[in-house]
Amino acid sequence: MSNSCCRCWITCGAVLMGLGVIAGALAAHGLDERLSAVHRSSPPVDRLAGSISAPAKALDDFRTAVRYHVWHALGMIAVGLAGSLAGTRNWPLQAAGICFGLGIIGFSGGLYALALTGNSSFGLAAPAGGSLIIVGWFLLAAGTCPCGSRTTTGSQ
């Protein structure tokens, strides 16, 4: 992969990391009142450990979105770093970066919007985004796997 492509993925990942930190800070310091207002009339949500309030569930969803956002922004940075290694395959790495970006938008963006608006339609994007993230990790592996690559060692 060209040096400029590698730097592009690292830059995109770094920007997404910064946005993830902002979202995490929002969840930690300023989201309670907003979520209480949006989800005030929603019924409690049943969970394995028992019932929780809808605002608490929304905050949990938002925090899940932040975690996946940040981890997969790191994955995007890994794509850029991997592209600078000798013997890597360009197209799987490019596709991995695209999958991570679209996956963050779909999964985390869907959960952010669901938590902030209470509109369950936004939650429908999460499975597609999660699938793209999974594909992104497999493409990163395919792009960096030395399987089938020819290396020159000087002796034959």
Q: What is the pLDDT of residues 6-37, one digit of tens each?
A: 889 999 999 999 999 999 999 988 888 889 89
Q: What is the pLDDT of residue 146?
A: 81
Q: What is the pLDDT of residue 90?
A: 87
Q: What is the pLDDT of residue 152?
A: 46
Q: What is the pLDDT of residue 20?
A: 95
> Is pLDDT of 156 > 50?
no
Q: First CA to last CA across the chain, in angstroms?
A: 27
Q: What is the pLDDT of residue 85?
A: 86
Residue 127 forms part of a structural domain: yes
Q: Which domain holds residue 75?
A: 3-40+53-144
Q: What is the pLDDT of residue 87?
A: 84
Q: What is the pLDDT of residue 148?
A: 65
Q: pLDDT digits over 69-121, tens only?
A: 999 999 999 999 998 888 888 899 999 999 999 999 999 999 999 999 999 99
> Is pLDDT of 153 > 60?
no
Q: Phi and psi at residue 34, in whole multiples of 5°?
A: -60, -50
Number of domains present in the structure of the chain = 1
State the CB neighbour count (10 A cutoff) for residue 46: 10
> Is pLDDT of 132 > 50?
yes
| DSSP of 88-144 | --HHHHHHHHHHHHHHIIIIIHHHHHHHHH--GGGGGHHHHHHHHHHHHHHHHHHHH
Question: 55 is written with which tokens?
Answer: 């605002």
Residue 149 forms part of a structural domain: no
Between CA 57 and CA 127 the distance in angstroms is 18
User: Could you tell me which residue, 76 or 153, shows the higher pLDDT?
Assistant: 76
> Is pLDDT of 151 > 70?
no
Residue 83 forms part of a structural domain: yes
